[in-house]
Structure 1
Amino acid sequence: MRIRFTGTAGHAGWPAPQCTCASCNQAQADRRLPLRVTVDDRFRLRESGAAGPVPQGYTVTPTPDGVRVEGPDGGRLLYARSGPAAPPDAHAVEAAVPDSGFASAPPQQVDMVIVDAARRPETIGELRRSGVIGVTTAVVAVGGDHSVRSPREFARRARLWGAFAPGDGHAMSCPPSVWPPSRPRGPHRVLVTGGARSGKSAEAELRLLAEPRVSYVATGEPADADRDPEWARRVALHTARRPRWWETEETRDLSSLLRRAGGAVLIDCLGTWLTAAMDRHGLWDEEPAPGAEKRVEAEVRDLLEAWRTTRAYVVAVTNEVGSGVVPATRSGRLFRDHLGRLNQWAAAESEEVVLVTAGRVLELP
């Protein structure tokens, strides 16, 4: 099958009519029409199904994951749903109820998936997890609009997710004639640094939305609604924005976790891990016990060795320190020194390091 994209943007196009926002201004040089997909130039495909009669030799079938198209040449395409995700047991339920309007077969790998990556990029991870997207499946990211900073940013995200971001007029064969773009996979280490409220955690999470299995490692204090309701609310909001299939592990034993980990791991963050390590060894005290600083350094070096040798795809968040300000307290200066060294050493053993400031991402060579 030949899949043609005569439009690749969201329903209003990009730039949106009469809109003068920064994103739409940047899109003026790369204008995109609302999404329009045709199959072999014979019929138009929508998220709800075919727009009009389906030519002989093609099948268009609604499934819990979206609309599945099979062509006379054996090509298999999925136009993924952009609404709320299907429940985890949707395929089993639909298989038991054949008159529900959905295909009763369990999910099977397809050759191409079209995903509205502006509205629900986590769909890519869901479909990889279920097996619909395999290593040879071409993932096509469409739907860009001014909810994304710029067309360039949309393309950057697509690359991180192992997806194509076609422009208007682009045509692709299904099955694909070229290998799908690669994405980072283990062993691969990414260090995301930035100041407070810089957007560094959001960037780390965004990078892993397309992964089928993610362990979210929280190194901070567990939320206690009775002791600190405001902190508990913050943690709850943070948790709610993650995909439902991500597993959360609260631990300070990062070395052991990295040594046994596979798949994808998000650590948030190294700064809170170091705070706890300094507390365990009494380094916050005015008069620390003899050897306390060396014990903290030993923990840091053990963590770095685990970071260097891990087999996982790891994205770790850390706090940027210093920026010319000397802390007024002894403990503050100690923390700055230890975290600064930890960041430098982790960066030296990372394939990628990015700095996030005001929500903007700067790749550090």
Structure 2
Amino acid sequence: MTQQLDIDVRALELDLHYIPRILGLLGSRAVTVCHGQPPTAYDLGCTTEPTFAKVLPEIATWLNAPGNDDEVVLLYLEDNLKNAAAYASTISTLDQVLKRPNGSSLIYKPDASQKAANGCVPLPTSVSRDDVRASGARVVLVGSCAPGWSGNVFDWNAVHVESGSTSGYRDFPTCDATYGPSVYATKLVRYFEDTTLVSTLLNPTRKPVDPEALTPAKVQAMTNCGVNVFGLDQLLPEDGRIQSTLWSWAPDEPSATGGGCALQGADGRWVAAPCTEVHPAACEDGGTWTVTPPVTFAAAPAACTAIGSTFDVPRAGNQNSALHAVAPAGAWVDQTVG
């Protein structure tokens, strides 16, 4: 996991099972990190994997390392526990491990006053990384609703959807029939792949070259369509899929010598440009993007107001793609450098 964090992965998934510690068959049970079938299928695939208590410190150590004190991580805990003792153990491990050297917690805790009827606090999608940092936290925990861990883990079922990779996924604006534009506009969208041994054993007829695999080209198409959380198997440091999850700043941008204002370029990626240049301004109104005639960056807000809109900046890949569709030659976006 440290390698993933070092290459800027900020959303991690840990599959949690509550299994006997001797080959998954004998001995006392413990919360274990493994990719296996649910308890109803006897946790098939889980054997001698490490316990949650041994895995989690790797994340805490990285967060507490010099140079990482401004980072925020989304940690998805896939719930295959379904046991009161397992939830209690998980909460205990989270509280004991995810803290600073001075003992203060790194966890962004759910507000108990916001509990829904199911006993859990829904993940607030309006919360930004700056909000998390301002609270003194660094880790946002999400998963399915389970009252046994709701004190630490947000319920994201109501605000996220997920699907296995589809072979027919296309670039913006075609995207995929699984979810419509309204879903991308209002929810976290997660796509995942499953290339583990267990999945192969359960589906031995799958072709050697899996059409469902998340290739760099498919990940780029998904990013452009608004997918914002990926479950990538067998990730490597130089994996091309990592670059494909990026949609805002171009490589090596913002350049210190480029200028102080952000310009969406002809390829859809942003570059730093001198603020005195003239370009169309990106204007947004109710989810619709338009552009003005060319203006300087300073004149962009007034230019957007003049056409009944607001000078704005895309906040997701699908918004960036929608802007690029109406500004193929480029446009100012409401973002400054430095």
- TM exceeds 0.5? no
The structure showing larger relative contact order (alpha-carbon pairs under 8 Å, at least 6 residues apart) is 1
Q: Which has the larger radius of gyration?
A: 1
TM-score by length of 2: 0.28
